[in-house]
Structure 1
């Protein structure tokens, strides 16, 4: 097989949660450029419509479905609908996420629950539905979880404490390892990307007051760009990573290495 064929996603369908903007949309651009039909889910229909128009202008086939992962009873019907209208899902990118910043002693429990419901519980239920409906019957699949360097370490004391987010992303890291081991003999790989700080809507508040501290702690002394996740996302979604599973790859300018 020619090397370029290992990265070819033609004929495959990729579901990307939280795909209407930020890192999810960047990943959709990458997978779509290499031939995948992309299916985006997010809570806001107008943002999904804008993302679809953006992708179609790039020549990418895109489908959009408004959905809130925190509403658990909508998840099975969503996967059934995508399966019926678009086809089986070959690639799942669990990207949707929520965060909350507060000192632990003052952290509202409802905020803790919201973060866990989206980042862990909703991800589990969606993955389970895709496995049952699409990947296990096909005997193949690629699952790419978007964790975070926050799941690999604690916070710099100068930054806002985000215990719920760090805990949830730590769960994603080990979810990736455990599911990878379970699926290894079933033709399904499970890996995770652990981004550092990228300018997105979610990180806007943190960067507003903490960007200098972040840059000081990052050996490359810069934030992530719109292009920095695309290569690893394509690798993990394609046949080029056929012998990789259970890995959590930091894309963080070296911040987790110091």
Structure 2
């Protein structure tokens, strides 16, 4: 018998960047637990394939959307609104990175990272507010979970100026949204993952392995169950009073610096 305190069955969720990495881990965790889960990605074919795979374990629908464009968030919200009248959980996970050195970074590189990591989450919240408000009640608030990064909480040993700045800003935006949306019964939190396998982080590379061994007390990168556990907690009644927080999910990395 499941514990209703942690149940999210029957809810509806949207996970951006849900075809790979942390986004796919979150989406799979939701689908397995009875959440009708929409995943969004720029690549329509890849999105359909990922949704079909996840649908073997529950209900998953793929939505193609380019969140790097100014029109992308509104287009995605409009597309979701064709299917749903309410949204219980929004996970802003889609992300971009640029590792240019300070001497070679360009305005175009900088803007692309900010557009995906910061602009898109804000305007997606803006355009999805009617659906989030429709789902929200005092007993069961709607949830926004922003996927930040420990790169927004400390300065790494490599150059990632646009990425770190965008994630630090997303953490700040999380608090601003918390203050504004509480009256609408919408809870907003951020997760700041350390190294997890993804398109942005190759945890099998020798450089990342060495970093993990050196800096993470648990001596391993994050796994699917780690991000599943935290997102399920935040989306369930168990996490309903956690609000306005940025939670490091890093195996102790920041504590050991």
Deviates more, 1:66-75 or 1:115-124: 66-75
Q: Which residue of 1 aligns with 2:60?
A: 62
CA RMSD of aligned residues (A): 1.9
- Is structure 2 residue 243 aligned with structure 1 residue 242? no
**Take 2:114 and 2:242, find their aligned partners in 1: how far apart are those partners?**
27
Map 1:192-231 to 2 at 5 A.
Answer: 192-204=190-202, 207=205, 209-231=207-229
Q: Which residue of 2 aligns with 1:71?
A: 69
Q: CA deviation at 1:108?
A: 1.5
Q: Which residue of 1 aligns with 2:13?
A: 14
Q: CA deviation at 1:10?
A: 2.5
**Take 1:198 and 1:205, find their aligned partners in 2: how far apart are those partners?**
7
Map 1:126-145 to 2 at 5 A.
Answer: 126-131=124-129, 133-139=130-136, 140-145=141-146
**Take 2:216 and 2:186, find their aligned partners in 1: how far apart are those partners?**
34
**Take 2:86 and 2:79, find their aligned partners in 1: how far apart are those partners?**
10
Structure 1's unaligned 5+ residue stretches are: none
Q: CA deviation at 1:177?
A: 1.2
Encode CA deviations 1:182-212: one digit per residue, 9 max, x unaligned: 2223211001111000121111399453431
Q: CA deviation at 1:138?
A: 4.2
Q: CA deviation at 1:42?
A: 0.5
- Give SS of 1:253's match: coil
- Give SS of 2:146's match: strand
**Take 1:206 and 1:96, find their aligned partners in 2: how far apart are those partners?**
22
Q: Note if contact 2:192-2:249 (Cα within 8 Å) is conserved in structure 1.
A: yes
Q: CA deviation at 1:65?
A: 0.7
- Give SS of 1:93's match: strand
Q: Give the TM-score taking structure 1 as reference length.
A: 0.92
Q: Note if contact 1:67-1:74 (Cα within 8 Å) is conserved in structure 2.
A: yes
Q: Note if contact 1:20-1:41 (Cα within 8 Å) is conserved in structure 2.
A: yes
Q: Give the TM-score taking structure 2 as reference length.
A: 0.92
- Give SS of 1:257's match: coil
**Take 2:252 and 2:47, find their aligned partners in 1: how far apart are those partners?**
32
Encode CA deviations 1:35-86: one digit per residue, 9 max, x unaligned: 110000001122212211221122x101111111011213223212212223
Q: Name the one with the larger helix percent.
A: 1
**Take 1:208 and 1:45, find their aligned partners in 2: how far apart are those partners?**
33
Q: CA deviation at 1:94?
A: 0.3
- Is structure 2 residue 136 aligned with structure 1 residue 152? no
- Is structure 2 residue 91 aligned with structure 1 residue 93? yes
